[in-house]
Structure 1
Amino acid sequence: MLDENDVVIYESRDGVATITINRPKQMNSIDTAVEDRLAHAWRRFNASKEDRVAVLTGAGERAFSAGRDRNMTEPPDYRRFTPGAVIPVDKPIIAAVSGWVIGGAITLVQTADLCVAAEGTRFMFPESKVGFGGGMIASIAGRIPHKIAMELMLLGEEISVERAYDVGFVNRIVPVGQHLSVAQEMARRMTKNSPIVMRMFKRFVSDVLPRSAVEQSAIPMRELDVMSNSEDFQEGVAALREKRQPNFQDK
């Protein structure tokens, strides 16, 4: 059942999963609750037999996401809730963005396969100005020209949606308020394509895209995540607690 009060909303319709960061009053900033719910959403999408394409968006028009919630004392670990890092996702993802895309939120867009942006969207990675930052952003240099990537990271100044389009970070610029509907329509067209071939293409491309050191460190975390979310893990814990022989089912 859809819970409009959830910080991340998952809606499934006609083979398309729409995943919405739902904190519009906080510019969809990322706190621990968003981390957990996004991770859950990506696991759900990857396991779904019905949903073939995902659209990732933010509630409202002010921001796709402002990145880290300013009330957090520790920066988010984007490896844990960015698709393709700890959680493997081999289905297509479209980012539908408007307003501000700030800080680590850019990494969510860069790991999407396509991006639809509303007019007036602005991208900014201000970490060098505020004195903290993660390393996943480094792989953006494999997705847009190197010098533009370094400008984004070292200057910490905003880049317009037009420039993002010119350097290949955005696929479509659409009127304000239409970014989600356009992305969903693109996703619906993709659901008519071969899922096997789309997954194959995504894996092929993922294998040749450069990965930052932080992304590479997510590989062993991915295996640990699979283990800790398995039924066998729960069975092992229960057997230890109940002092009995575990009955593993390889699932």
Structure 2
Amino acid sequence: MSAPGSSEAINPSLLYEQHGSVVVIRINRPDQLNAISGEVRSGLFTAFERFEQDDSALVAILTSTGDKAFCAGMDLKEAAESGLAVPPLGFLPIIGDSIRVTKPTIAAVNGLAFAGGWLLAQMCDLCIAAEHATFGITEARVGRGMPWAASLVTMVQQRAVMELLLTAEPITAQRAYEIGFVNHVVPGPEVLPRAMAMAAKIVANAPLTVWAARELVYLSTEMGRSAAQRAATHLFEKVYLSEDAQEGPRAFREKRQPVWKGR
């Protein structure tokens, strides 16, 4: 594990930085618009596995080097050379699919996010975008597929999804905000600081409640209302019975900051 405030290259295309309880995972191919190469894929698998296993790391921010591109999608030159047809299971590092992550993640989108770049922003729990960022699901332009876009229908407006997929036209960060894909749009230099500030607010909260709340959102998108309510009641039982559930009210009464133990 990296020491607090340290930066480490998992490989030349993927950097891992730790700032206290917050991890910054950075795609580092600015000259190739941070496109997803084999090196990026393997680096993301390694980085998110490290984040998940590190008890001191509570929030991860996914971003990229430079200000032109968050990620331009799959490295098409590499794909053409390999003759890639149907991507095999586990080919792409997708949280909730090929990567298990149980802690909050934030996409800090510092430039264009096309195709697989959109996917990387989509798989995170939250998204901060630069004013100049653009988003697009551009696979139709190159005859590729986007099966991962199925879950978008639970995130944004159905007709917005239809337009994105059928036209392959990019949208602005403001439009992505309007349809509910982006949480906040900020000036370019403020993207990472805003993501760090959001992460700090999450870190300050009771970790068991944060964990359960995140699970609640995803459970609710996959179940009917009654089933989701029953699942949520069971989910939060562990929270109510925790030491932290007693510490929070006690700290409020004593007019001090709570000391969370995560148990």
TM-score strictly above 0.5: yes
Match of 1:209 in 2: 221
1:136 counterpart = 2:148: yes
Structure 2: state its 5+ residue gaps. 224-263
8 Å contact from structure 2 (residues 8, 17) kept in 1: no
Q: CA deviation at 1:3?
A: 3.9
The residue type equivalent to 2:32 in the other structure is: Q
Q: 1:78 & 1:140 partners in 2: Cα distance?
A: 20
The residue type equivalent to 2:199 in the other structure is: A
Structure 1: state its 5+ residue gaps. 212-251
Match of 1:169 in 2: 181
The residue type equivalent to 1:124 in the other structure is: G
Q: 1:111-164: CA deviations, max 9, x gaps? A: 211111111110111111211123112211110001001111110001111111
1:95 counterpart = 2:102: no
* Residues 77 and 175 (structure 1), Cα distance of their counterparts in 2 relative to 1, 3 Å cut: farther
Q: 1:75-107: CA deviations, max 9, x gaps? A: 766844111212211101111002210002111
Q: What number of residue pairs does the alignment pair up?
A: 211
Q: Structure 1 residues 152-161 or 69-78, which shifts more?
A: 69-78
Q: CA deviation at 1:210?
A: 5.0
1:67 counterpart = 2:73: yes
Q: CA deviation at 1:170?
A: 0.8
The residue type equivalent to 2:142 in the other structure is: V
Query: Which structure has the higher relative contact order (CA within 8 Å, separation 6+)?
Result: 1
8 Å contact from structure 1 (residues 61, 99) kept in 2: yes
CA RMSD of aligned residues (A): 1.8
1:190 counterpart = 2:202: yes
Equivalent residue of 1:190, what SS?
helix
Q: 1:200-247: CA deviations, max 9, x gaps? A: 111122223359xxxxxxxxxxxxxxxxxxxxxxxxxxxxxxxxxxxx
The residue type equivalent to 1:97 in the other structure is: V
Query: What is the TM-score of this pair, normalised by structure 1?
Result: 0.79
8 Å contact from structure 1 (residues 27, 62) kept in 2: yes
8 Å contact from structure 1 (residues 27, 64) kept in 2: yes
The residue type equivalent to 1:198 in the other structure is: V
Equivalent residue of 2:189, what SS?
coil
Match of 1:200 in 2: 212
